[in-house]
Amino acid sequence: MPRSLRSATVLLIAALCAIRPLPAHDDARRAELEKQLAATAEVEQKVMVPMRDGVRLASDVYRPKGVEGPVPTIFWRTPYNFSELSQSRLEMITRAVEKGYAFVIQNERGKYFSEGEWEILGFPRTDGYDALSWIAEQGWSSGKVATIGCSSSAEWQLALAAMDHPAHAAMVPMASGAGIGRVGRFYEQGNWYRGGAFQMLFAPWLYGVQNTQRPRLPADLSREDLVRLGSYFDLAPEMPEVDWTKAIRHLPLAEMLSTVNGPQGTYADLIRRTPDDPAWYEGGLYHDDEPWGVPSLWFNSWYDVSIGPNLELYNLAIEQATDAHVADNQYLVVAPVPHCSFFRSEENTIVGERSMGDARLDYYGLIFDWFEHTLRDEPGDFAEETPKVQYYTMGANRWQSAGTWPPAGVKEWPLYLDGGGSANSVFGDGRLASKPPETAARDTFSYDPMNPVPSLGGGVCCTGGAVQPGVFDQRPIEARHDVLVYTGEVLAGAVEVTGFIETVLYVSSDARDTDFTIKLVDVLPDGTAYNVDETVQRARYREGYDRQVFLERDEIYEIRLGPMTTSHEFGKGHRIRVEVSSSNFPRFARNLNTGGNNYDEAEGVVARNTVHHSPDHPSRIVLQSAPVSSD
């Protein structure tokens, strides 16, 4: 394998989210695309675009051959290596050029041939803004620019949208959750937290990305020399391989990267921040007190790390749009796939262990219709032909459309935790009921952070293989005594759950602090228990993320977990189940139960945790149900 490909494979840990290998026939498609691009594009490599402070960012520019007059531009900005284009990027550039668009791809500062020092999200409010200005000023540019990208190539776009650059005519943010700081009910601060618990993906991801120590080229090299050097070297570090299934268990958290001889940098800073630390509001994250200035075509997926914040932001962008045109041009697509796997949907799309059926969608067609709508003077029929919201309902395995999220007509449907006080494991007596409990009971379990409940699938990304995303049979998890299992009656007919899912638990503990987790599960007639969504709440943040309020021993507290989010049909003969515990590791970092910082601690204590369900303490989940289609 060439060195550039091998290095890129290590660096692109964000792509390790169980995206299956490309089929062999894609080699032929790649060769075809390279031939098409060579025939249709004028290419300028290593164009060094100056920023306001003099730092230059390495960019490749593709322009359609033989096209007279200025053209609109599609802009892809990334911290990843593009010395050799990925096939999806090659497909996008080739289609763009053939349709008469310029395409610019650029590395963030501090990455590869770009000068300066890297910062997570790549300085969207300065470098992102200046890059748009540079594109708009070129003689070949029409002055209209659309940004596009997935994951890190999308996340920087969100803060840029708040700047309302005059050239920023449209955007296509795909799987952009790590660009969201605080939005509505979510304080994830770029996916760093969920419910106040650290999301473990950032240790392996930053291991590969925050390579701030690198060779530096002389600042006065000509573009010709840079192109020549780029053909010899790609400046991609060859990071030593790490077994993250083992390394991710290391305590204390603050030392995790140093123990694998990784660079500290960003990780060492962020791991010490609380969920509402003022520093979160000084960087490149987008927050809900900012305006939204750009028409957007959003792509998200059910088994990604931050579907809830993304859908919350979709609604916020409409509410806080700078004008009616921006508000009316927000479109949303939600697919049943893991992180950045949109273009890998198949006739039989398998996500983890479960078939989602034919989840294909003409993504390229939709994207380029959107560009015609927003970047051309004659916008076409996009607005008349495209639903505001397109979402895939799992279980039923069909695409649906709506005018809003959640769709109009959904109704709240509370299901109450009930039983005789022995809900421990699937073999216990926990049940879900449509009415509040008539008698008082409680379910107690011991949570040992040294023996946490293991993660099995779910909305995960970028853990270096420590957790695989998607749907898996949860029965091995439900056999544990430290997992409370509550199961509803057999459904007489199909039930569609579409929207946000609230959770209210009444809990007590003998620890100063602990976590509570919940998982929504679809139980098939044969007993297979497929996970739908999950979340967590750290008890010390139950009153808000701007304060820490610790538990008093055996006092009963109401805890509201951040919303889960889905569109899922529970079929006839199925049952709805929830699992409650205090860990889901390494999806979320373990709470060591001490009331300390967690990040600088290596020893935990066992917590005796209790979930109460009674007329006075009606622990429950609140689903949003929708009418089941007869199609």
Which residues are known catalytic residues?
151, 304, 339
- What CA–CA distance (Å, rounded) separates 541 from 543? 5
| Residue 290, C-beta contacts closer than 8 angstroms, at least 6 positions apart | 159, 162, 320
61: its two tokens = 């520019």
C-alpha distances out from residue 564 to 303, 306, 344, 471, 500, Å: 11, 10, 25, 15, 6
Q: Taking each helix axis from N to C terminus, what angle separates 87-98 and 363-375, rounded to the nearest 10 degrees?
A: 40
C-alpha distances out from residue 506 to 75, 247, 447, 522, 578, Å: 49, 35, 17, 24, 15
Residue 533 CA, chain-centre distance (Å), reads: 13
Residue 390 backbone phi and psi in degrees, to 5: -120, 125
Q: % helix / strand / coil in the chain, to the nearest 5? A: 25, 30, 45
Residue 278 backbone phi and psi in degrees, to 5: -55, -25
Which one-letter amino acid corresponds to residue 220?
A: D
Which one-letter amino acid corresponds to residue 519?
A: K
For residue 414, is the peptide bond before it cis, meaning its omega torsion is within 30 degrees of 0?
no
C-alpha distances out from residue 44 to 140, 178, 226, 333, Å: 13, 31, 12, 34
Regarding beta strands 71-78 and 102-107, do their DSSP bridges make them parallel or antiparallel, or are they unpaired? parallel
Identify the DSSP state of 478: H
- What CA–CA distance (Å, rounded) separates 281 from 189? 9
Counting Cα atoms < 13 Å in the Cβ hemisphere of 543 gives: 7
Identify the DSSP state of 585: B
Q: Give the dihedral of Cα atoms 478, 481, 483, 484; nearest 10 deg.
A: 100
Which one-letter amino acid corresponds to residue 580?
A: V
| Residue 282, C-beta contacts closer than 8 angstroms, at least 6 positions apart | none
- Per the CB < 8 A criterion, the answer to whether 48 and 59 are in contact is yes
> How far is the first Cα of the chain from the last one, in angstroms, to the nearest whole number?
49
Identify the DSSP state of 51: P
Identify the DSSP state of 578: E
Residue with tokens 């960019």: 59
| Residue 462, C-beta contacts closer than 8 angstroms, at least 6 positions apart | 13, 14, 16, 17, 201, 202, 204, 205, 305, 339
- What CA–CA distance (Å, rounded) separates 608 from 301? 36
Q: How many CB atoms lie within 10 A of CB 238?
A: 11
526: its two tokens = 């044969």
Q: How many CB atoms lie within 10 A of CB 12?
A: 17
- Counted residue by residue, the chain has a size of 631
- Output the 3-class SS for 195-249: CCEEECCHHHHHHHHCCCCCCCCCCCCCHHHHHHHHHHCCCCCCCCCCCHHHHCC
Strands (E), 471-513: 484-487, 495-509
